[in-house]
Amino acid sequence: MRDVNAVKKASADTSRLSTHFNRAVELFWPDKVAEMKSILLQTPDDPKSTALKSRSKYEEIVSFRCLVSGAICVWQECWNLLQTCKRKSVTQESYIDQMTEALDKLKTDLIRIIDKHHYRQVARSVFTLQSVYLHLQARRMSTFIKNPRLRLTLSSIWSKDPLNHRTGLYSPMQSLEDTNTQLRTNFRIYQRDNIEDFLLHLKGYFQPNMKKTLEKKTWLVCEQGQQNSASSLVSSE
């Protein structure tokens, strides 16, 4: 059964990535969708190309192109998650309007700093968006979880301002990982919408082989799952 579930999840992830990426490009650059898709899906990075390159020393670790692809996809995840929270909320919560305005501003700021090739500022925006994502996950889960202890855990997460970078002695990454650990360890997989690790899920958007992943057909994913399943059956005999 685990193999069947793995195949289903792999198929869903393949379709989800394509939808999120395409929708994000359409929202960020509606007047040049084809051009930006072509630039973002360049693989591998052409050393002679000046498209979406920065002068940052971190280009060797994560290219600016990959950073931009990841940033807009995480923004799209946050936007979709906010719509889910809006649908599930019984009453109109004030945070929904606040987050809608904040995400609109983050998108506008991202477009501006991407155009200027500001690597560090885009990276900071990614941390902010990941904080918003975890905040919204806690909000979403609170719409159906009634256990007082678990709700207290969720409220301790959403009570922190995800747009505030002042985290005391903690670095932004450590703060994110601590929140991620709280969600991952206190809640079962089905309560977390089958995302086993929130930050690991988001990390997948920053990969250099985005084009290859987007072109992967769902049936090939399923075929791979069937092969793995058959292999496990043979080895267990």
Q: What is the pLDDT of residues 125-144, one digit of tens each?
A: 999 999 999 999 999 999 89
- Mean pLDDT, to the nearest integer, of 11-35? 84
Let me know if residue 18 belongs to a domain: yes
Q: What is the pLDDT of residues 218-230, one digit of tens each?
A: 555 565 555 554 4
Let me know if residue 67 belongs to a domain: yes
Q: Which residues contact 10 (CB under 8 A, 6 or more apart)?
A: 221, 222, 224, 225
What average pLDDT is seen over the chain?
Answer: 82
pLDDT of residue 131: 94
Confidence of residue 233 (pLDDT cuts 50, 70, 90): very low
Owning domain of residue 103: 2-218
Let me know if residue 19 belongs to a domain: yes
- Mean pLDDT, to the nearest integer, of 153-179? 79
Domain count, the chain: 1
Give the containing element (helix H, strand E) for 224.
helix 218-236
Let me know if residue 231 belongs to a domain: no
Which range has the worst mean pLDDT, 120-124, 136-140, 164-168, 205-209? 164-168
CA distance 76 to 67: 14
CA distance 197 to 202: 9
Let me know if residue 225 belongs to a domain: no
CA distance 77 to 43: 23
58 has a pLDDT exceeding 50: yes
- Mean pLDDT, to the nearest integer, of 146-173? 80
Confidence of residue 6 (pLDDT cuts 50, 70, 90): low
CA terminus-to-terminus distance, the chain? 17
Burial (CB count <10 Å: 0-12, 13-18, 19+), residue 110? buried
- Mean pLDDT, to the nearest integer, of 36-54? 75
pLDDT of residue 211: 78
Let me know if residue 234 belongs to a domain: no
Burial (CB count <10 Å: 0-12, 13-18, 19+), residue 168? exposed
Confidence of residue 55 (pLDDT cuts 50, 70, 90): confident
Let me know if residue 230 belongs to a domain: no
pLDDT of residue 229: 46
Asked if 128 and 163 touch (Cβ cutoff 8 Å), the reply is: yes
Q: Which residues contact 125 (CB under 8 A, 6 or more apart)?
A: 71, 106, 109, 110, 113
Asked if 6 and 225 touch (Cβ cutoff 8 Å), the reply is: yes
Which range has the worst mean pLDDT, 11-25, 37-51, 219-233? 219-233
Let me know if residue 224 belongs to a domain: no
**Residue 156 in tokens:** 């301790």
Could you give the percent of the chain with pLDDT greater than 90?
Answer: 49
Confidence of residue 237 (pLDDT cuts 50, 70, 90): very low
49 has a pLDDT exceeding 70: no
108 has a pLDDT exceeding 70: yes
